[in-house]
Structure 1
């Protein structure tokens, strides 16, 4: 007997497609870039706020250039530098201005290390003299100008160096750097991945001091990955990776005096993590954020170069405190800070002693991006979800919390990039019905000045395809109103029964249900809808932008409430007259793979199929910073780790399960898949799996994504087809 339930409609996108056109999507088109959107290149606002620069690449001459444009006219003003005019380099892949914009650092021959870290050959370029100088013959990391552009600090083989650009003299600041032991000035693997930064040094305002973090990872356990390559013997990649409950790097903070060539250690007491350092507007005062291992006790210190260290802010939480880059210092050294302390993420103003001046934003909604403060107009610029948790809008507000101005004009997702003086902003807008478009706007009132880029041609192209609107709604699950979208076949018949395929990620603070234009996976979902599937995504408890309580309910129980929500949602959707209760599948990548694996086990009476790509299968295998933030250590919370680990109940598998992983995944190690496979084999459970040699967490390169999605698509067609009638949907993608 089917139960009835109510879907509360939030928003239904209606595509302006020509219904007479029925062209079918193919995987080759999706992964071949046929539906790629036009975007704007990353731009750098010049100090005057009236001009910006962009890195351009000339395919004809195979040269790179830094070109300057005018905001008001969007016309090119000049070329600052072109590799076509430089004898030493053929092209450069990125550029960085000095603070006074007199010089550039140009990057060449850059290679990735991990997600954010790179090595490269770097040059300085003097704009006035047009002189190009090599910083080092070696591949180095994070070269950074001093404030007066007379020097460059960088890291080579885990040691910090400073080069005097006038004399060419190089000073070695640290000498104890050693691979897999001591790191100076750049972060270790777990800081890079989870605290999202690489450069761990910073110049003070006068350029007299350099502050840096030192990582002693001697006692951090090593992880090794086989690299198969194309040679006769595989090799091994060995690096330090602290898994939950294991030892982390011992970190310490130091200041180096360039005049005296002396180094001092900053006493931070029992600081466990140092996730941020930043010099304040006072050239002698360094701000330091430290947090305990549980990540629920965050302290902000001000350290005076004369040796005095004072705690100015202490934020605690029963669960955890997030680290952000939102700390901004005003000229009087008061500062702007974001916090969830009232239950929602908002903006606060503190004086230089850490006393609260006022809460700038407030309400039962989240600030999702802090853009900055304009001292001329005394206004703060930010993005929030106050127009609905699936939307993003841009606002400004006075420092005292008054005079709020709504700067974005269209309902959907708005993201702003402001000029240096906050005169203008470029708004990147999209919605479920409107592909990305970029406009130049006045920052005072949001008024449109002109459109820069649109994707009208893509809309015209898509008019030839049989696509369906993404219907947004909420579904009442386990006492909560959860955001949801649904895609039905274009020829949907409410009197028929369709297989249901669910997509989700579900990680803490994440969001998968948002009013934005289609990503690549959305075209895949449209393709499945064309083949007769209903595709749904539900953001359950633990996801973001609906307040701290909703997000942090999963604390110490990752995979419990999120799985309960997906199972309950699937049951309720299965009660709809047009859903076949016997054909419900779910998939996910990374955290989503952890979820889909748990769902087909704990929800084996609901889900008949699951696909898990690069899944965590036990949080005991994942890193300290991420895992312990949400789970504490395994020593403290063994049941939280084990009760929600699919490794501990493989015997529950009844449906069709596809397990996918890359062997070179330095993030979620292939160990997770291997252990899951072993558990299923020991339980005598049949499953399908695919291992991608030398592929990382993204599993891409060449035809890899096309091959992967072909495999997953065929797995769905073969196992969620109408088994009773033995008539699966067919695909042209072999």
Structure 2
């Protein structure tokens, strides 16, 4: 090699290295999808246990398809349905098989109502005949096949309908549905948001009964929001929203007999909520869960829909509250699997059909975090847990008798599994802070990795090209507890320099932000801030999840007390580190995190010099009944708990820089929260910054909205921290 070529090679190498160190992440790149990862959309195992189906989108032809793949080879073996072959549907957004997989329910255009609910146009595709049947000419909610595949039940205008796929006949099951009055078959706003389900009807195994919930929200107070839109005059969106301590919907249980068209009400003992219903393996036996208003007294009923006789099969109480899950699973003999925190940690239990405890399947000072299913052939349960540390997730299997436990995942980080129908295989989704989402085919017998499906190595390589530092995990001793923490430092970090500290948290009950998983979109923003000279850190304080019930429920009746104390103390401790400038510590959060950051700035005004609150709760009196009362009881019972930790009452303590942001059409945390906070600050004669995003909901997104929002947040940090 001659001297010129050697010099040129060295120059290029050094330049490349310098470029990697100085190349900056931009907000435009973050919000234009520059760090997007690949996944497997709507992955479903087929009944034969040998194949799986995935929803695919062809960008070139703008068509969607449901394609099937072989587990053993991972090769595509065919297309079950493609929008290219359906004249009535140029595309579809989701699919759902009938029980025998002879028909597929396809969703066309979907319009979002609230967080989980949508209105859409649906078609049934017959796999054998290729015939396409429109379920309804009008937009509908929650269409669901009967188990025998001959009918589809759905909700339209708050009433339940059944369409026969044999002769096309439509039967209207209920007739009294009316906006802001009576809802049949789908949930009201607060059930949807806090019990996380929309479809409130269930078919029985023989397709001759439909059990459903009826919501009478006539006396529930209304909430209204101005929708500014683009017309000369704004419109108004009015909906029923029960705030803490106010009237809830009267919810009742009913069963419709498909054979004779009769509907019967099923009376229950005193209750406030019916958060789950489902038929057991016995077609006449309906499982019903009820809760009292404090949500610390749960009853599981077995209700015979023929005799109208109800039996309390399981009864649990708790000093604080009981979480509702979807883990209830019935075995062939109608014994059932259940998860509970009753020993202090969330674990799996097996009960007989009469509610007698047969066995506590899992135990230990760790939490079961997901229940995947039961293999009757092997008598084996599959689950996810934090046995390998609360920031990690691993996949396990265990015998129904609690013996012969197997660790099926092999990599430390976050593992999640989708099992084949016969539990021969599972597709493992793995990620960590050093590995993007990686999909692999694994043996369900021993967890052995068989093949890689998706690697996402390009995203990792791209992030590496920016020369960012790793997210570092540790614990910090705060108020007697070892709290999980992550920290991102500038790539050229010098321990002898002083850096401003920007803290992020959410802190809501049972939540977790410190997790060994690949990055969310906020993380790329944090990397960008670190590139610009900030140390970014996050601490999960008391009240967060996956460390046992006592740690999580310590905040009961006083949300915002211990969580705020932990963030303030953590900031003090971090401020004592040689590389942190204790005079430049900021904090931010969204929703519950905005409630927290507001309180931290006001109550910790000697620690925090700035804060950002996006869509914050400023008084739990303004928030919904189910969420708030679960942790606080009612404001009538616990006024001090509501007011002692409301930032509204500490506005006069503002000394730092404060940015308050909200969407005007936030149906969840109402703009009322920020408006009342603004008024409190004005009357305290405190200067602050604020921004309202017109017609944006709790997520504050759409078009360039997120780019604009994060530009504002970034500029505020640069100017004030």
The two structures have a TM-score, normalised by structure 1, of 0.95
Is 1:617 aligned to 2:623, yes or no? no
1-structure distance, mates of 2:462, 2:92: 34
TM-fit CA distance, 1:649: 1.3
**Could you say which residue in structure 2 is the equivalent of 1:161?**
161
**Could you say which residue in structure 2 is the equivalent of 1:493?**
494
Runs of 4+ in 1 over 6 A off after TM superposition: 17-20
Is 1:529 aligned to 2:530, yes or no? yes
2-structure distance, mates of 1:78, 1:436: 26
8 Å contact kept, 1:24–1:466: no
8 Å contact kept, 1:395–1:408: yes
2-structure distance, mates of 1:67, 1:36: 23
8 Å contact kept, 2:49–2:421: yes
**Could you say which residue in structure 2 is the equivalent of 1:258?**
258
Is 1:179 aligned to 2:179, yes or no? yes
TM-fit CA distance, 1:20: 7.2
Is 1:290 aligned to 2:264, yes or no? no
More displaced, 75-84 or 418-427?
Answer: 75-84
Q: Look up the SS of the partner of 1:510 in the other structure.
A: coil
Q: How does 1:253-652 map to 2 (within 5 A)?
A: 253-305=253-305, 306-652=307-653
**Could you say which residue in structure 1 is the equivalent of 2:50?**
50
TM-fit CA distance, 1:637: 0.4
TM-fit CA distance, 1:107: 1.1
1-structure distance, mates of 2:270, 2:18: 65
Is 1:241 aligned to 2:273, yes or no? no
TM-fit CA distance, 1:59: 2.4
**Could you say which residue in structure 2 is the equivalent of 1:193?**
193
2-structure distance, mates of 1:471, 1:433: 10
Total equivalences in the alignment = 704
Residues 162-199 of structure 1: CA deviation (Å, up to 9, x unaligned): 11111211111111100000000000000000000000
2-structure distance, mates of 1:93, 1:493: 49
**Could you say which residue in structure 2 is the equivalent of 1:62?**
62
8 Å contact kept, 1:53–1:66: yes
Q: Look up the SS of the partner of 2:536 in the other structure.
A: strand
The two structures have a TM-score, normalised by structure 2, of 0.97
Q: Look up the SS of the partner of 1:565 in the other structure.
A: helix
Bigger RCO (CA 8 Å, 6+ sep): 1
More displaced, 674-683 or 145-154?
Answer: 145-154
TM-fit CA distance, 1:60: 2.7
8 Å contact kept, 1:18–1:463: no
Residues 134-160 of structure 1: CA deviation (Å, up to 9, x unaligned): 111111111111111111111110011
8 Å contact kept, 2:275–2:289: yes
Q: How does 1:102-113 map to 2 (within 5 A)?
A: 102-113=102-113
Q: Look up the SS of the partner of 2:20 in the other structure.
A: coil
Q: Look up the SS of the partner of 2:526 in the other structure.
A: helix
8 Å contact kept, 2:256–2:264: yes
Q: Look up the SS of the partner of 1:21 in the other structure.
A: helix
Unaligned runs of 5+ in 1: 1-16, 721-734
8 Å contact kept, 2:40–2:54: no
More displaced, 573-582 or 439-448?
Answer: 573-582
Residues 34-86 of structure 1: CA deviation (Å, up to 9, x unaligned): 11112222211111111111122222332222111111111111211122112
2-structure distance, mates of 1:151, 1:311: 32
**Could you say which residue in structure 2 is the equivalent of 1:212?**
212
2-structure distance, mates of 1:19, 1:336: 58
More displaced, 166-175 or 274-283?
Answer: 166-175
8 Å contact kept, 1:556–1:632: yes
TM-fit CA distance, 1:597: 0.1
8 Å contact kept, 2:42–2:94: no
**Could you say which residue in structure 2 is the equivalent of 1:10?**
none
More displaced, 238-247 or 485-494?
Answer: 485-494
**Could you say which residue in structure 1 is the equivalent of 2:7?**
none
**Could you say which residue in structure 1 is the equivalent of 2:140?**
140
